[in-house]
Amino acid sequence: MQITKEQDIAAGEIVDLIADKIGTNRLIHPGTAISTGARLAGSFMFRSFNFNLKDIKPGTVCLSEQANEKGPMLIGVLGTTLSNFGLQLNKEAMSTTAKADSNLSFAESMNIVQEAAHEIMKRNKLNLEQMAYACAMATAFVIKESKTDLSIESGFHTAVYSFIEGSKTCPPVLGGEAPVKKGFFGFWK
């Protein structure tokens, strides 16, 4: 997958957004910041599936084949970006390290950042899937910046968990968002 200049710019803007909205004086709780970036990535990916969300309450788990197919791509972008930063996951530590907790729920974190993130997406002329990858890149940067307070492996686990959460949970409605009709399961199309 080719990352564009616009995605790179958007990733930097997402990092700033998370620091400004989630942190206090740009000091942030690593687990909360990583979860927020990854949930945002998963949420943009979820939105790219174009499900009919009219009758679905935000926060509802929505399992789909699309999430199973596209979710791993977020993990791939995360791993590649961490590697580009010169960070390597310790395989032994991966099996013994847990994810970090977030101080915010899925809905709380999305309500704080999703509108501004959507503006970043529009300003950089990205589609929903491209924005999901930009948010995954931003999440990798937050992991890198948090490595003195949280191990890379714990940050990785936190991000993966939050990618899954975001890509399989109905997000809060964005301002002006109109539902699109499409079934959740392939045989409903």
pLDDT tens readout for residues 14-67? 999 999 999 777 678 999 999 999 999 999 999 999 998 888 899 999 999 999
Task: Classify residue 179: in a domain, yes or no.
Answer: no
Q: How many domains does the structure of the chain reveal?
A: 1
Q: What is the pLDDT of residue 175?
A: 76
Task: Classify residue 122: in a domain, yes or no.
Answer: yes
Task: Classify residue 51: in a domain, yes or no.
Answer: yes
**Rounded CA gap, 82 and 95, in Å?**
18
Are the CB atoms for 35 and 135 separated by under 8 Å? no
Task: Classify residue 48: in a domain, yes or no.
Answer: yes
Task: Classify residue 169: in a domain, yes or no.
Answer: yes
pTM over 0.85: yes
**Rounded CA gap, 117 and 104, in Å?**
17
Is pLDDT larger for residue 108 or for residue 53?
108
Task: Classify residue 29: in a domain, yes or no.
Answer: yes
Range of the domain at 131: 5-173
Task: Classify residue 181: in a domain, yes or no.
Answer: no
Task: Classify residue 187: in a domain, yes or no.
Answer: no
